[in-house]
Amino acid sequence: MKNFLTVLLSTLVGVLLSEIAYRTILISSPRSPLGPVHISYPNPYLDYVPSPNHTGQGALRFNKDKHYTFSINANGVRGPSLRPLLKGCPRILILGDSYTFGEGVSDGEVFSRMAEQRLKEEYKFCVEIVNGGVSGYNSVQSLHRLKELLPGMRPQGVILEYTPNDTQPPSRSHPKAVYHYAYSWVWEDLMFHLLHNRPSFRRRLGIGLRKLGNDGYLNHFEEDRWNWRASKDAVTEMAGICRENGLSFQIIQLPDFTKSFKKYPYHIIHSAVDVWAKELGIDVTDYYPFFQGEDSKDYSLFEDGHPNARAHEKIGAHLADQIFNTYGKNANTLNLAVTSRKKQN
């Protein structure tokens, strides 16, 4: 019995020391360098943000010969300087990843700008749509982005762009943010490696690639996955923040433009988000049906997979319709509430 306890204690100490060593290595390891668009930011969940007051050219990650122009304003969001808040002209903040930021397309081609232009020209509706998207962000990072932008930006509504990879761990954030819901960093990475890279291990557990989610997205949406729980918790908190501040909160689901729209593999993800959001009373709109049956190559950048200008134009058109239906009749009321808060401060 004494020997058993000694072995058990030694094993536990070894596991604990391994966990401490692994965490120390990950925290101290240098992360991938930032591109010309971003700067480091002292927030472990964000880690990087668009560089304020910066204009330049970006290159596609998988097609370095393709460049696009971008401009970041003083508030650290893509697009022109913010206008003063005006009665009857609501400000809408859109959060999301590289799809929202518009990686691969120039400023005037991003769907937020396309929607704003359509609202002005076709609906004669004054609106300011702020592009708060950041390439590489997931929904947890969008939550913290909202917390950072909300006080100074004072929008009347918030829209979260959600894609099938929104449960993916952030690629460059601090390890404490990446492993936020993981009890053991060693165990999390070990199981990921065994399940995805060792077929014999999967067979012993009776897990096939279909159930695993071959590309790493589908399995993150199973109820027992910390990725899915983290994403839901983040969106729930975002909705709560908006309610507390009297703001409208909506989700738009965009499809994965690297996949076929004729045999789209992520219906289950879209359905899961739709059901869960509606249970929480969150307005959610799925944009996949607008592309269903079409050739995804016509809407994605060559050798990259991000939505191209044609895709952004289509998203922008539907977004404009959605924004007008939500804010068009209540613009004055929304802005009166903002003006009231401004006077109180």
Co-location of 175 and 231 in the same domain: yes
Co-location of 153 and 91 in the same domain: yes
- The 10s digit of each residue's pLDDT in 215-264 is 557 666 666 677 788 889 999 999 999 999 999 999 999 999 999 999 99
Co-location of 160 and 13 in the same domain: no
Co-location of 142 and 190 in the same domain: yes
Co-location of 262 and 340 in the same domain: yes
Residue 209 has pLDDT above 80, yes or no: no
Co-location of 257 and 143 in the same domain: yes
Co-location of 234 and 122 in the same domain: yes
Residue numbers of the domain that contains 327 = 38-344
Percent of the chain residues topping a pLDDT of 90: 51
- The 10s digit of each residue's pLDDT in 95-106 is 999 999 999 999
Co-location of 26 and 42 in the same domain: no
Q: What is the Cβ-side half-sphere exposure of residue 68, based on CA atoms within 13 angstroms? A: 20
* β-strand pairing of 283-286 with 157-162: unpaired
Co-location of 293 and 273 in the same domain: yes
> Considering the entire predicted model, what is its pTM?
0.81
CA distance 173 to 96: 16
Co-location of 235 and 94 in the same domain: yes
CA distance 322 to 182: 37
Handedness of CA 29, 35, 39, 41 (dihedral sign): negative
Of the two residues 263 and 334, the one the predictor is more confident about is 263
Co-location of 279 and 156 in the same domain: yes
Residue 33 has a pLDDT of 55
Q: Domains in the chain: how many in total?
A: 2
Quick one: average pLDDT of 298-307?
A: 88
CATH of the domain at 296: 3.40.50.1110
Q: Cβ distance 44 to 174 under 8 Å?
A: yes
Co-location of 133 and 6 in the same domain: no
